[in-house]
Structures are given as structure tokens and as C-alpha cells.
Structure 1
């Protein structure tokens, strides 16, 4: 990838601004994801509906684990693209601590849908920015084959076992390097995505028809079955009611008809005696049944059976039955509509909720680096030690020189020994990691996986080297403004 030094003009510690020489062509590309709140509302609802069923359905970004590459050449160059620069992390009040590494709330998963309709995920992190709305991940987790952006792109910080504890953040605009967008060059395999305010579902509420039709958010009509009398009253009051089906009488059918059911019909003793035994229409239905009854029941009985009274004053009725095979009739059903609106709440700007990692570029190589991600794919040998539902990490020094590999035109990647598998791609590479604060400086994102010793196990990962061109892309994303998706009452904002 062609390098061009872009001098740094530090505007503040929280957000670095870059000055581009007049003769320099821009290295960045901006692509819309879901810029309009009404579309963002639909994207968020898609992933959150049915208790996050779509989130749980997603699998790691498509990658054939058997095709992991080897590093072609180590000991390449030490990049020298200018003066090192950094933007400090932004923190919020910390939550509880875990035993070893305090997992940062900034890390999470990005979810998206590809052209085939498959639900995919990668890893990512919130990163400090002027508007506290920026996510950094791998470019291939935003762009499908380096071309069109994926659909329904969202970020879920703190993702853990199918939960979105801090809400879901819909991507508005993606910023990446020109070479990735145009040439699918993985030396620029990173993307900064500006996201809308967070969004969470907050249940549902039954409302009046007037409130329902005025509601701009998610809404639906739930049917409730009512009686014929209630239906008539509803119609007179011009309510939302309807009927389905029609009233039909049972029809005689053969015993082998797929819808036939057996009924018993009471007949006279003479008819019963003439009936045959078997499954045919009109055949005997069991033996005659004699039952003891009260005097009142005995006197009231007007059926075809026989009545008897013995000397002790006991009353009995003997009933005779034959079979009737019928196709059941149907009854018209009546329904009233209940107007339901789906409630949602604004969870705020991403950086205000979970904080944002710092950002660093043109840094010396060979630094201690913490890498987080959600690995899910098996190793090339088929072993599957990771599930993708919980975050994992690697820690160590990156190589002191850049590497080359055949994969995706990789020529100047930094490398780290790590056994995380795909699903972790897009996860942040953090230098100057502070375990107490759970913060560091993003100096790369996982891009490519390698089986370097040929034992069919992933043993190294690599990232694009973050240089002045990366800082240029970040600077453009840093100024992107996004919006609230829902208002204070849960209504969709236009």
C-alpha cells in the first residue's frame, strides 16, 4: 500500500485533528450504512426481536479455516511514516472486576447480514471520538468482498451469551482506506464506523386506535376472540373487529375419510337390532347401556331407548347407539383487534455509556499488546475450543518487523502469536493496556489468521500497521455526526 506522510496537528488530547497537504489525494472513503433513524430503528428491531433470536443465530464471518495462510516473510521493514501520535481513551464509571483481566465494556460484536441473507458477526470496540459515537473493526467486517457494505450493521458492546447489556448501536457511516474499498487490499483492513445512539426494546403497550395510528414506531394488532354478541356490539360502536370462517353443518363421510370423526347416535332398540357389527356407517356402537336414574329423570326421558321400573322402585333407562362417521362442521369465529405499540428507549451515545479506547498510530513495533475478540471458528484440524459467545484475549509482544503473506495482498502487517480463530477478526489490538482502568490505545485490529508451523492450528494473527493514513481515516470518522433513533417516549424520530 502506498504510504504518504500526513503531519499531525493535535487539536486536543481527546480528539486529534490532521492537516492534509493540498497536493495529497485523500486516502479515506465514506460509505453510508443506515443513516436514517427510521431505517436504524428497523435494523435494531431485527436483531433484538424474539429475545435476540437473530443475534444468537449469527455465526462468525465466512471464512474457511482450512485455508489459513502461512507468513511468507518475516523481518521486513520497520514502518517510518512520521511522528507517533495518540488520542487518549475516554472512560466511564467501571463495573465489576473479573479474576484475571478486567474485560473492557468497550469491546463487543458487530452483526450484519450478507447478500445471501446469512447472519454474521465479527469483533470490535468503541473508540474515543469527538461525538462519542465511533467503533473500530476490520474493514472486511463492514465491506462485502471490499465492495458493497453489509446490511443491518450493528454494534453490541459488552455482548455476552446472547445479551446486549448496553443496548444496540446501528451503524450510520463507515470510513475506511481507499485501497481496501477499491482494491480489497488488506494492508488497509480496518474501518471506523460512526453509530447512532443506542437502542433497547422496552416492552409493549396496548393503546387506543387513535394512539396506534399516530404512533411512528413499531406497532401491530393482536387479535382477541370474542362472542357473536360482543362482535355485534363492536360493529355498532365502529370498533376494530372482524370475523373469520363460516358456519357449516357436519357432513356424512366414510370411516376412511382423512377428516372423518366418529360420533354415536341414539336409536330405538329395533334399529339397533337391525344394525350390523363393524366400522361401517350405521353399525352398532358398542353394547346397549343401562343406567340408573332418578324418578324425575325417568319421567322426563323422551328418547328412543327403553325405560323400566322394578318392584323396589328403582328406575333405569337403556340406551342404544349406532355409529355415525362425519366430516365436522365449522363455526364462524369473531375477533376484536387490540392495538399494540412497541416501546423502545434511547440508551445514549456509545462513548457516554461504555467509554472509548484510545487510538495510536506510527507506533514502534515489538510492544506488549492486548488483543480481544470473540473467536468461534474451529482450527484447521477441526478442533473447536471457542464458542463465540464470550470474549477471549491474547497478550504478548508484536513482531519487531512487518510481515508479508499471500493472503489478501498482505505486505506490511504487524503480527502477534495468538491461537484465537475467526470470529475474533475486527477485535482491537491495545497497547499501553491499563488493567485497572480496562483501557489502552487501539494500534491495530485482527485481520488475518495463520497456521505458521503447519500443524493445522491457528498460531498467529496479524493486523494492518496503523500509520498516518490510518490516522487520516480516523480523523474523518471522528467528525461524523449521528442521531438519536427514538425520542423520550420511545417514539421513532424522523
Structure 2
């Protein structure tokens, strides 16, 4: 890369102490993604809700170019800029023998919202880290066109398949990349290490009392269910009179009477939010007396089609909600009403633990010579430039071979030194790991690159090469910073959201 760096020892990074002169330009950059548990939960829930509907809706990330960029040999042999080094992998897969390439348990997809609000994904892998919490991917799958900007709702799903997250969803907390990528959108530094929180899965739901509903921190919703007059009376008797859980809905206000009327009952009429806000308060502490607000969680299509009095809002968890506002009246006992019971429900989540403990982590290598045998993995999906689309993006694919012995330039992305691999994977494989010394039985190796750019070397409308940043001392330096990032458990033992 283009920056003078301090070589790192080959013995690993877990205890490395880096000293950078005060006047030296930084080699790394870091940005917050979702450091707060509540925000991390919200992002993960956004993708998991409705059986992973948002996950299935996502499409592969698209490079900011209308055509496949051209490559030019830089004439350099890509000599390392420091001592070679690596940190070993950890795995949770038992060794085995196979004539085919076994897919690593560590690989998966990262999902995020791009700056246009589109649902996107790239490829990635879990890597070794002292806190068992790091993901390696392409920098352009985390950082939006440089300038200290990161994508929204960023998560990693190892083993992703058709909207399913078999080992949980891991929300990104902190992202680390090369200073030049973050600042200048320079793809010589197109890599990122992301520290993720503990993963979780949605683990069902349960009905609770109104008191427990109010105390619950996490996903929750209320829904009205129509009941018979007898069920309504039973509910009143059980609760000693009027209750917030069971109530009568009034169609009109024609039979409204005063509180002294001898034969009366309480009923509620739905009004608009504006009418509700204008209604007088009556209990001395600023609340309306009586009143009722019911929040329904609906689908996106129901949300868009709704034309009633309710107030539409997308809540902090990304749910589509319609809030119904009711004011209470005394009406004649003979007034025709419908009876409802409010059912209070909370969503339960299950903590899956640290990423590296669940799926393991690939090793990381730097300052290795070019011309190495590598196995590259990813989820290719986009068509070739000629329109042919051989990949669906549903399952991971792989390429194996030796990288070129010379580094290459890709002027479109300010690349001066990329390593090159002959491979026909298309976009969607962005961020997928390049593993050297891949052990097919253990399904582990050392990440020595991540897919960055897709290339058509002969101009025939077919992608035939992919390129990656060269993992040198700068990459090792960024990895050393990410290696110390501490993240959190975001779901408690009872499935509640932790603060």
C-alpha cells in the first residue's frame, strides 16, 4: 500500500504494543456502527422479523461503476513491507475427509441498508480475535464512499441460507479499516474488520399481563381481540369492575349520558390522534380520563394500505405500527357496543454467545508473498456483464488457485497494488475471504485477502478475475486495533433486552 508503516512481529497480535510517532499519519480508521445494545437489538430484529422477510428482500451490493473496470499490471512483485506474520484459526467443526471443497462454518453474509435505503448484502467470515467477536469483509461493504460514514443496520449472519440464521444474528458494534479507504475511498485499503456483539435468535413469544408488558424491555405488542358480552362480563367480574384489558367499543356518541345516570356503562370511541391530543385532561396529572391507546403491529403492506383513524408509525425496532386512540364515555346500558380484550405479547430472544465460540474463526495472515495457493469463498449473485447470471446468491461458492505473482492497478478505484485471482464469481461475493493453507478437513485457513473488485481481463463480457487488497503491515496494524475491541451481550437470560 502507499503508506510507510511500522512492521509487526510475526508472533501474532494478541499482545502487540504499537508505538506510532506523534507526527505520523494514521494507518487505521474506526467508526461506530451499533455500540448500544438497544440499537443492536433493533437492527437485528429489523432483519429477523417476519421470518427473515428483510433478509430475503436484500440484494447484492453493487459497485459504483457502470462497467467492469480495467486492470493494468503495476510491474511490482508485491514485496511485503514488513515481516510476515499470522494468527492461527479456531474452529468448531470436527476434522473430516472429502474430495470436494468443504464450506467453512465461519462464512456468511453481512446485511445493511445503503444510503438509498436499499436492503443490501455482501460476503464475510468470522476471524480469530481475543474477544471472539471479529468479522472480516470488504471495506466498501461497511463504509459508504469514505468520509467517515458507515451503513445502517449492519449485521453478520454466519451460515445464512434463504432468510435463515442457523447460528444467530450478530450486530456490528465497531468497524475498523484503512485510513485511506475511510477518508479517500481508496480501494488499496478495501478491507474491514468489524467487532460484533453476541448473537441472538428470536425464540418465540408469550402473552403477559399488562403490568409485565409495561415493564418489558424488548420487542412487545398489543392486539385487540373481539369477545362476547358474556366474556366481557366475566372479565369485569374477575377484575372487580372496569378493566384496561377488557373494554367496550362505541360506534357513535348518540347515547352519551352523565356519570349520575342510573343505568350506564363505560364505552370507548376511536378518535384521530389530533382529536385525542385536543381532548381535556381530567385526573389532575395531565392524563386524559378515561382514555385508551392500542398499538397494533402490522405488515408493511397493511401499513401502506391503511386508511383509518389510527396513527401510522415505524417504531424504534423497525416495526410497522398503527396506534389507535380512544376516549371513554358513559353511555346508556342499552347502547349497542362491541366488546374486546387487549392481548399483551412480548417477543423472546435467546443469546447465542460470542461469534467465535459459536462458529470459530479463521486465522489472519499478513506480509505473505504473492503467488500463493488460495481458496476464495463468497455468495456471488449479480450477472456477468454480458447478462448471463449463473449464480443465485443463495448458497456460497468458491474458487481455488494461485494468486498472480505481480500486483495490479485498477484505476477506477484508485488501486495501485491489488493481488489477483482467476475466478468467475460475480458481485455478491464482495468481502468473501481468500484463505491460504486451507485445511479441507478442519475447514480452516488464514485470511490473506477479501474480494474487492471484479474484472473482465479480455473484454468478452465475462468476469474472469477478482482482486483483493494485499494484506500487509497496514492490514496487520488495523487488525491489531480491532483485536482489542470489546463488545456486549445484548439479550438477558429471560430473553429481555439488556441496557
* TM range, smaller chain: 0.7 to 0.9
Cα distance in structure 2, aligned partners of 1:98 and 1:210 = 56
Distance 2:228 2:95 in 1: 54
Aligned pairs (5 A) from 1:409-424: 409-424=414-429
Distance 2:96 2:200 in 1: 23
State the Cα distance separating 1:8 from its structure 2 match: 1.9
Moved more, 231-240 or 80-89: 231-240
- Indicate conservation of the 8 Å contact 2:127/2:363, yes or no: yes
The correspondence of residues 113-192 of structure 1 with structure 2, limited to 5 A, is 113-147=113-147, 148-192=149-193
Alpha-carbon distance change, 331 to 56 in structure 1, aligned in 2, over 3 angstroms: farther
- The corresponding residue for 2:260 is none
Of 370, 375, 378, 2:380 maps to 375
Deviations 1:111-151 (A, max 9, x none): 00122211000000000001000001000000111231000
On the 8 A contact 1:368/1:396 being kept in 2, the answer is: yes
Aligned position for 2:211 = 210
Matched, 1:338 2:337: no
Is 1:471 matched up with 2:476? yes
TM score, norm. by length of structure 2: 0.79
Q: 1:194-217, CA deviations, whole angstroms, 9 ceiling, x for partnerless residues?
A: 000001000001111121111111
Match of 1:49 in 2: 49
Superposition deviation, residue 52 in structure 1: 0.5
Match of 1:442 among 435, 441, 447: 447
Contact 2:197 2:354 in 1 (8 A): yes
Q: Distance in 1 between matches of 2:205 and 2:100?
A: 40
- Residue 74 of structure 1 deviates from its aligned partner by 5.2
Q: Distance in 1 between matches of 2:168 and 2:471?
A: 29
Does residue 1:195 correspond to 2:200, yes or no? no
CA deviation map 1:374-419 (0-9, x unaligned) = 0010001110100111000000000101101222101100000100
Query: Any residues of structure 2 matched to 1:58-73 within 5 Å, and which?
Result: 58-63=58-63, 67-73=67-73
In structure 2, stretches of 5+ residues that fail to align are 255-334
1:385 corresponds to which residue? 390
Separation of aligned partners in 1, 2:230 and 2:91: 62
1:402 aligned to 2:407? yes
1:73 Cα offset (Å): 2.4
Q: Once the two structures are superposed, what CA deviation does each residue of 1:257-303 show, in whole Å capped at 9, x if it has no partner? A: xxxxxxxxxxxxxxxxxxxxxxxxxxxxxxxxxxxxxxxxxxxxxxx
State how far apart, in whole Å, the 2-side matches of 1:210 and 1:198 are: 29
Q: Kindly indicate whether the alpha-carbon contact (under 8 Å) linking 1:18 and 1:471 is maintained by their aligned counterparts in 2.
A: no
Match of 1:80 in 2: 80
Paired position in structure 2 for 1:19:
18
Specify the SS of the correspondent of 1:17. coil
Bigger drift between 186-195 and 205-214 goes to 205-214
Distance (Å, rounded) in 2 between the aligned partners of 1:339 and 1:199: 23
Gap change, CA 1:203 and 1:143, over 3 Å in 2: same
Could you say what secondary structure the match of 1:3 adopts? coil
TM-score, with normalisation over the residues of structure 1? Answer: 0.80
In structure 1, distance between residues paired with 2:78 and 2:204:
54
Please say if residues 414 and 464 of structure 1, whose CA atoms lie closer than 8 Å, have aligned partners that are also in contact: yes
Q: 1:456 to 1:64 in 2, by over 3 A?
A: farther
User: Which residue in 1 is equivalent to 2:37?
Assistant: 37
Q: 1:493 — aligned with what?
A: 498
- Describe the shift of the 1:80–1:405 C-alpha distance in structure 2 as closer, same or farther (beyond 3 A): same
Shift of 1:333: 2.7
State the 1:426 CA deviation.
0.4
In the TM superposition, what are the counterparts of 1:443-458 in structure 2 within 5 Å?
A: 443-458=448-463
How many Å separate the matches in 2 of 1:87 and 1:73? 30
Instruction: Supply the distance in 1 between the matched residues of 2:476 and 2:77 (Cα, whole angstroms).
Output: 20
C-alpha RMSD of matched pairs (Å): 2.2
Aligned residues of 1:132 and 1:351 also touching (Cα < 8 A): yes
Of 235, 240, 246, the residue aligned with 1:241 is 246
Cα distance in 1 between the residues matched to 2:185 and 2:178: 10
Distance 1:225 1:28, change over 3 A: same
Aligned partner of 1:480 in structure 2 is 485
Q: Which runs of 4+ in 1 moved over 4 A?
A: 95-99
Give structure 1 stretches of 5+ with no counterpart: 250-329
- Per the TM alignment, residue 234 of structure 1 is displaced from its structure 2 partner at its CA by 3.7
User: Aligned equivalents of 1:368 and 1:394: distance in 2?
Assistant: 11
Residue 289 of structure 1 corresponds to: none
Aligned equivalent of 1:429: 434
Q: Find the residue that maps to 1:146 and give its secondary structure.
A: coil
User: Which protein has the larger Cα radius of gyration, Structure 1 or Structure 2?
Assistant: 1
Q: 1:66 Cα deviation (Å)?
A: 5.1
Matched residues in 2 for 1:331 and 1:141: separation? 59
The answer for the alignment partner of 1:228 in structure 2 is: 229
Given that residues 222 and 337 in structure 1 are in contact (C-alpha distance below 8 angstroms), is that contact kept between their aligned partners in structure 2?
yes
Aligned to 1:283: none
Alpha-carbon distance between aligned partners in 2 of 1:143 and 1:241, rounded to the nearest angstrom: 50
Distance in 2 between residues matched to 1:16 and 1:418, nearest whole Å: 37
